[in-house]
Structure 1
C-alpha cells in the first residue's frame, strides 16, 4: 500500500526544507511527496526543486485558498493513502506506519490523525487554540482531522473530491462531515502526527493577515457549501463556533439597542463599555490571561464580521480540475 504525502505551500521558504526532509524520511521508497504550491514568491519553489519531489503550482488566475492546496495535490497523486500536511510542519517518523496499520485493521475508517504539537505558543492565536482544546483533538473517534492526517483514497473517491477549493478555512471539517455522511469514520490516535510551527508574528497582525487573505470567511463558506446538502444539519450541530457567532450577533444587537433606546447617551455608552469589559474579564479568567481574554474577544468580532462575506461569496465546482502546471516530477 503506497502513501502520497501532499504538502500545501504558500511562501513557506523558512521551514520547507525541514518539512520535506521529514516527509521523505517517513514515506519510504513506495510513496511519493507532492508539494502543491499556491503561487509562492519567496524561494519556496527553488527549495522544493532541490529535493526531487513532485512539484505542482496553480496557474495564473487561480485564487489560492486553504481548500485549494490539498485538492491540487490530490489531482496529481497516485497513493492508496493520502497524508495532508502544511509546509511548516515536521512529520513524526512513526506516524505513517501506525496510521496505515490502523486503517488496514479498520476498513470502515476513512481517515486517521494524531497529536499536532503547536511549537509557537508565543503567538496568542496558537496559545488560544491549545488552551481551548475541543473533542476533535482528543484520541478516539472524531468529526474532523484538524491539522492534517492520513486518508484512505477509496473514501475520498466516494465523496467526490478531497478538499473544497472554495474554502479559506474549515476545509478539514468539510471533508470530515462529507465522509461521515457517506458512512466513513474518522479517528485520532494517541500518537504524535506532526510538530506545527505556524507564523512568527504578532497575533493581531496575524488576525489582520487572515482578514485580508479571506481565511476568516471559512465559517460562512463552509455553511454555503453545505446549504441544500444532506450533511447541513450535521454541520450546524458540530461547528461549535456557530453558537458563539450567534451570541456575538445577539450581543452586538443588544448594545445597539442600548445606544438607541437609553435617553441618557452617556449612561448608554457606560453600560456598553461595562458589558464589553465583563465579557473580556470572563474570557481572561477562563484562559487565566488578560492578553488571551482580550485577543479572544477581538478575534470573535473579526470572525463574526467575516461570516456573511463568506456565505454570500460565489462558488466554483469543487470537483473541477484546478488549472495548474507541473514544475518537476519525482520520477523524472
Structure 2
C-alpha cells in the first residue's frame, strides 16, 4: 500500500492536479495544510484527500502526515507535482526510491529548471548520492519514521527547505541497500514569475543557514555538486547555477 503525503500552504493553484493524480495512483492521499487562507483545503477534500491541519514547518508537515499514514511506503510529494504513467513501478525493488522528474510549465523559470533536471537526471546513477542532484521521495514507512525520530526537535520546528536532504541524510544512516530510480515518474510544475523564483532561492538560503554548525551543514556544500557531468554539461548549467546560487548565497551568508 502506498500513501502520498503532500504539505500545503495556499496551494490552490496546483493542489487539485496533485491530489487528483495521487488519488489515481495511491491507496491513500494525505494533505497536511499549514492553515491556508485560500481554497487549498476545500479543493483537496473535494478531490478525496484526507486533510490534516498542522501549524509548523514543512518538515513538521511531512512528519505528521507520515504518523497517520497507513501505507507500507510513503511518497513525499510537493503540491506542485503530479504523477506520470511511469508511477507506480511494476516492481518495488528497494525501500528507498527516487522519482525522476519531468519539468512542465512556461517562461524563463521553466527553461532554467528543465535544463538543470534533464542534465542531472541523465546521469542519475551518479546523482543518487547525498551530494548529487536527485533526492529520493519514496520510502519504506518504518525506515522513514526512524529517520524522523533522529532529527533534532529544533530543526523539525524551523526547516522549510532542504528538509528532503535532511531526511535522506538520516535515512542513509539506517539503510545500506541500493536506491531504486524510477525515470520520468512525476511532473514538476515550474511556472513561477522570475522574481518569485529569485525570492524562493533566497528563502532556501535562509533555511540552509539554520543548518550551520550541525552535522547537516555538509549537505549544503555537497548539493552544489553534480557528479558525473562532462565539462560541456557543466558549462550548460552555469546560468541555472548562477540564477539559483546568487539569491541563495545572499540568504545564506547575510
Asked if 2 retains the 8 angstrom alpha-carbon contact of 1:16 and 1:44, the reply is yes
Asked if 1 retains the 8 angstrom alpha-carbon contact of 2:29 and 2:50, the reply is yes
Superposition RMSD in Å: 3.5
Q: Relative to structure 1, is the Cα distance of residues 6 and 162 closer, same or farther in structure 2, using a 3 angstrom cutoff? A: farther
Cα distance, 1:45 vs structure 2? 1.0
Q: Relative to structure 1, is the Cα distance of residues 162 and 73 closer, same or farther in structure 2, using a 3 angstrom cutoff? A: farther
Cα distance, 1:299 vs structure 2? 3.6
Q: Does structure 1 residue 133 correspond to structure 2 residue 120? A: yes
Q: Aligned to 1:55, which of 51, 55, 59?
A: 51
Q: Relative to structure 1, is the Cα distance of residues 224 and 73 closer, same or farther in structure 2, using a 3 angstrom cutoff? A: farther
Cα distance, 1:4 vs structure 2? 1.2
Match of 1:39 in 2: 35
Q: Relative to structure 1, is the Cα distance of residues 69 and 126 closer, same or farther in structure 2, using a 3 angstrom cutoff? A: farther
Q: Relative to structure 1, is the Cα distance of residues 7 and 93 closer, same or farther in structure 2, using a 3 angstrom cutoff? A: farther
Q: Aligned to 1:304, which of 240, 249, 252?
A: 249
Match of 2:215 in 1: 226
Matches within 5 A, 1:126-205: 126-127=113-114, 129-130=116-117, 133=120, 138-139=124-125, 142-144=128-130, 146=134, 149-161=137-149, 164-185=156-177, 187-202=179-194, 204-205=195-196
Quote the Cα distance in structure 1 between the aligned partners of 2:41 and 2:136. 22
Match of 1:258 in 2: none
TM-score scaled by structure 2? Answer: 0.77
> Which one has the largest radius of gyration?
1
Show CA shifts across 1:170-193 (max 9, x none): 222111121112243452424322
Cα distance, 1:300 vs structure 2? 2.6
Asked if 1 retains the 8 angstrom alpha-carbon contact of 2:135 and 2:165, the reply is no
Tell me how many residue pairs correspond in the alignment: 241
Quote the Cα distance in structure 2 between the aligned partners of 1:205 and 1:37. 21
Quote the Cα distance in structure 1 between the aligned partners of 2:81 and 2:50. 18
Match of 2:8 in 1: 9
Quote the Cα distance in structure 1 between the aligned partners of 2:118 and 2:181. 20
Quote the Cα distance in structure 1 between the aligned partners of 2:50 and 2:34. 14
TM-score scaled by structure 1? Answer: 0.61
Asked if 1 retains the 8 angstrom alpha-carbon contact of 2:143 and 2:175, the reply is no
Q: Relative to structure 1, is the Cα distance of residues 36 and 224 closer, same or farther in structure 2, using a 3 angstrom cutoff? A: farther
Q: Aligned to 1:207, which of 198, 204, 208?
A: 198
Asked if 2 retains the 8 angstrom alpha-carbon contact of 1:92 and 1:194, the reply is yes
Match of 1:262 in 2: none
Cα distance, 1:10 vs structure 2? 1.8
Asked if 2 retains the 8 angstrom alpha-carbon contact of 1:71 and 1:165, the reply is no
Q: Which moved more, 1:158-167 or 1:4-13?
A: 158-167
Q: Relative to structure 1, is the Cα distance of residues 134 and 19 closer, same or farther in structure 2, using a 3 angstrom cutoff? A: closer
Q: Aligned to 1:102, which of 85, 93, 100?
A: 93
Q: Does structure 1 residue 287 correspond to structure 2 residue 232? A: no
Match of 1:245 in 2: none
Q: Secondary structure at the match of 2:105?
A: coil
Cα distance, 1:69 vs structure 2? 2.8
